[in-house]
Amino acid sequence: MNPRSSRTNSPRRGFTLVELVVAGAIATAVITVAVIAFRTLSMSPRTNTAQGDVTLGTTALHNFYPNDSGAVLTAPYAPSFATFLLANQTRDAFCEDLRYANAVFCLGRNELNTVRPGTISVGSAFQGRVVATPNDFLTVLSAAYPDAATIFQTYRGASTATNGTIFILSPSGSADTLFVRAIYEIDLLPVTSPPGIYASVRRYVNGGEWDSGYSYSVFYPTSTAAGTVAFNPLFVAFERAARATEGDATVDRVKVAAGRPFYFIWWPDPSQPSLKAASSDTFAASEPRASYPSMSGRTSFFFVVPMMPAL
């Protein structure tokens, strides 16, 4: 009888010296890479926590934040990772508002906004389905709030305005009243003390109440006096493809929506050290991308939003 046949278990063996050396080398390499990565992240400008006083002026500061009456505020300097987290929270709130929306309208402006209604009165014969463009909505808004006609600009396709306001409507249960669930404002304000751009995205509810929990702001310092902001368009409105062509490339090229008009929307990105240089891409005048050639790769806060989400 072969004595090996009586064994029921294989003999146990430990690691060899070579295996231990290799395992130790791998562990050392992993730890070294982790330390280098942590040091890099710690020293990265994206984790910059610098902040400082920025002079907005009493008019702008009180307009943005109704409870403040001064002229100077303390703002985080870009890049700011903490503000990036706030921006993500604001994006989450925006997406949540869209869940309950039955209409979204984006209006461009170059000045401060004072029209933040909680409701919009309309005639009893009002038909919401005929309000199919931002300009249509501006007509409705201006009828109830005449100041809107001077604050907001009309546009087709890409908005050329520096700033913008997003009105999110939800069902009101009234035949002659539109209910405004929330208003989002995007402002890029050039300031000179210190020189730079103060960028903010703010949420308002209940007829103009600033929602500080779902808003963010960041200051982009520059080496020269603040000048023209080139972070636009903030909005591009795409119309129904079935609408007749008009012979204007800036309008006809955005008529690509298959029955449901929608927007492209961009917000400033606090994780970027600056608003970034505009893209140099060029496109044929008939291409939709010719409406927003400068916005490629400038921010991680980009949205595609239906004009009528509930349809």
Is residue 16 situated within a structural domain? no
| Residues of the domain holding 266 | 50-306
Residues 6+ apart with CB under 8 A from 122: 140, 143, 144, 176, 177, 178
The Cα-based distances of 2 to 7, 10, 12, 122 in angstroms read 10, 16, 21, 100
Is residue 17 situated within a structural domain? no
Q: What is the mean pLDDT of residues 170-186?
A: 94
Is residue 31 situated within a structural domain? no
Checking if the pLDDT of 2 tops 60, the result is: no
Checking if the pLDDT of 28 tops 70, the result is: no
pLDDT of residue 190: 92
For 14-28, b/e burial (b = at least 16 CB within 10 A) is eeeeeeeeeeeeeee
Q: What is the mean pLDDT of residues 33-39?
A: 48
Largest Cα separation within the chain, whole Å, is 107
The band of 179, judged by pLDDT with boundaries at 50, 70 and 90, is very high
Is residue 253 situated within a structural domain? yes
In this predicted model, what pLDDT tens digit does every residue of 206-242 receive, in sequence order?
999 999 999 999 999 986 665 556 899 999 999 999 8
Is residue 296 situated within a structural domain? yes
Number of domains present in the structure of the chain: 1
- The residue behind tokens 């943005």 is 64
pLDDT of residue 216: 98
Is residue 41 situated within a structural domain? no
Instruction: Report the DSSP beta bridge partners of residue 197.
Output: 190, 220
Mean pLDDT of the residues in the chain: 86
Is residue 273 situated within a structural domain? yes
CA distance 137 to 142: 8
Checking if the pLDDT of 41 tops 70, the result is: no
CA distance 27 to 295: 44
Is residue 263 situated within a structural domain? yes
Q: What is the dihedral of CA 101, 102, 105, 111, to 10 degrees?
A: -50
